[in-house]
A and B are shown apart, each in its own frame.
Chain A
């Protein structure tokens, strides 16, 4: 079956440091790939997505590129802020008629001032 693997962390960085959170997936077809972010006490919010190979999703300074050859969708940001502290989930979805996300376990990021 489909699965998503990501580094679980926690990841602790200083403000303005470079961030990479690795995500790899296993899927039978050609899924869409997502990064969701969960701030403390809140539900998940879409951060960015990519729907086909070589697509790059970007939002709020975060980027991720859909790499079919390495089945990866790593999240990067050049300079993190304290406000980026949250849990980040990599997910795939290849639902045809509906939507069934497969989520990774989540990576907790703490950014220190």
Chain B
């Protein structure tokens, strides 16, 4: 089954404690991205990757890091989480291009206290 898998689904952590949210896709997609979803703001792109070892900032990259060492995986790293990073995070993948469908993971709800 074609899917994007994120882990964990729920995470509560304390300010400053480094964490990683994993994302994996099984569709051989070149393009992967991370979004955060906040009430009234919709989804905003954090980082994206057009292929292995190619990553770039989205609209709200501050406080986040990513890596793309393998085509299927695109982890999101918070080196020093802060309460304003409490949000619902989605990973997405696609073949890229402006008219292709993006497939989304089920989301990771992160709470930073």
Contacts and interface: CB of A to CB of B under 8 A. Distances in A.
Interface in A65-101: 89, 93-101
B96 A97 contact: yes
A59 to B, nearest CB: 11
Contacts, number: 70
Contact of B106 (A32, A41, A95): A41
A43 B4 contact: yes
Contacts of B58: 100
Contact of A43 (B33, B48, B90, B101): B90
Interface in A45-79: 45-46, 49, 51
Interface residues of B, number: 28
A4 interface: yes
Contacts of A32: 98-99
B106 A43 contact: yes
B98 A94 contact: yes
A42 to B, nearest CB: 6
B94 interface: yes
A43 B107 contact: yes
Contacts of A25: none
A101 B104 contact: no
B27 interface: no
Interface in B1-49: 4, 31, 33, 35, 40-45, 48
A33 B4 CA distance: 22
A98 B102 contact: no
Interface of A: 4, 8, 31-32, 36, 41-46, 49, 51, 89, 93-101, 103-106
Given A43-B90, A46-B101, 11 more contacts: A32-B98, A41-B106, A43-B105, A44-B90, A44-B102, A94-B98, A98-B50, A99-B97, A103-B43, A103-B44, A106-B42
